[in-house]
Structure 1
Amino acid sequence: MNSKLNIMVRIDLDRSKAQVIAKGHITIHSINALYVVAKRANSLKGGLDLELDISGAWVDEDALEMLRSAAQARHLPTKIDPEQAPCTISVLASRRHPSAAAARLAA
C-alpha cells in the first residue's frame, strides 16, 4: 500500500460534473488536501455535481465518516470553505484501511 495521497481531477463543464479521484491512504489528517481540491473544483461552476472517487484508496473509518457527513450537509467543512458555498458531493468508496478491517475481524 502506498501511503502517499495522489489526487486527479476530471471536469466536464458542459455536463456540470467533476470527478475527484484519490488514491493512497486517506486519514483525518490527509483529508484536508482532498477537501481543498474539491473546493477548487466546486468553484469552477455553480451547480457542479462533484463525485469523490475514493474506491482506489485506503480510507480510515473516521475519514470516511467525515466525507459522508460533508456529502449529507452539501457543504465542505467551514475551515476549508468559510463561505459555505453549496456543494453537491457524492462519495464513491469501497475499501478501508487494512488495520480497521483486521480489528473488526478480530472482534
Structure 2
Amino acid sequence: MNSKLNIVVRVDLDHSKAQVIAKGHITIHSVNALYVVAKRANCLRGGLDLELDISSAWVDEEALEMLHAASKTRQLPARIDPDQAPCTISVLPNRRHPRTAPVRLAA
C-alpha cells in the first residue's frame, strides 16, 4: 500500500460539477488535504456539486466518519472554511478496507 496521498480534481463548470479523486492512505491528518482541495473547488462556482471519490484509497475509519459528517452537514470544518460556505459533498465509498495485521503467506 502506498501511504502517499494523491489527489486529482476534475471540474465541469458547464454542469456545475467537480470530482476530487483521492488515492493512497487517508488518515485523520491527511483528510485535511482533501478538505482544502474541496474548499478550493467549491470556490470556483456557487452551487457546485462536489464528489469525493475515495474508491481507490485506504481510508481510516475515523477519517471516513469525518468525511461523512461534512457530507451530512453540507459544510467543511470551520478550521478549513471559516466562512462556512455551503458545500454539497457526495462521498463515493471506498472499496478496500485497511488491514489490521499483515497477511503472511505460507511457503
Q: What's the C-alpha RMSD, in Å, of the aligned pairs?
A: 1.3
Runs of 4+ in 1 over 3 A off after TM superposition: none
- Structure 1: runs of 5+ lacking an equivalent: 103-107
Once residues 9 and 82 of structure 1 are traced to their aligned partners in structure 2, the CA distance between those partners, rounded to angstroms, is: 22
Structure 1 position 93, deviation (Å): 1.5
Match of 1:4 in 2: 4
Letter in 2 for 1:73: T
Equivalent in the alignment of 1:92: 92
State the one-letter code of the partner of 1:80: I
Q: How many matched pairs?
A: 101
TM-score normalized by structure 1? 0.91
Residue 37 (structure 2) pairs with residue 46 (structure 1): no
Give the corresponding residue for 2:80: 80
TM-score, structure 2 length as denominator? 0.91
* 2:25 counterpart residue number: 25
2 CA distance for matches of 1:37 and 1:96?
23
User: Which structure's CA Rg is the greater one?
Assistant: 2
Letter in 2 for 1:70: A
* Amino acid paired to 2:54: I
Greater share of residues in helix: 1
For residues 100 and 18 of structure 2, what CA distance do their matches in structure 1 show? 31
Q: Partner of 1:105 in structure 2?
A: none
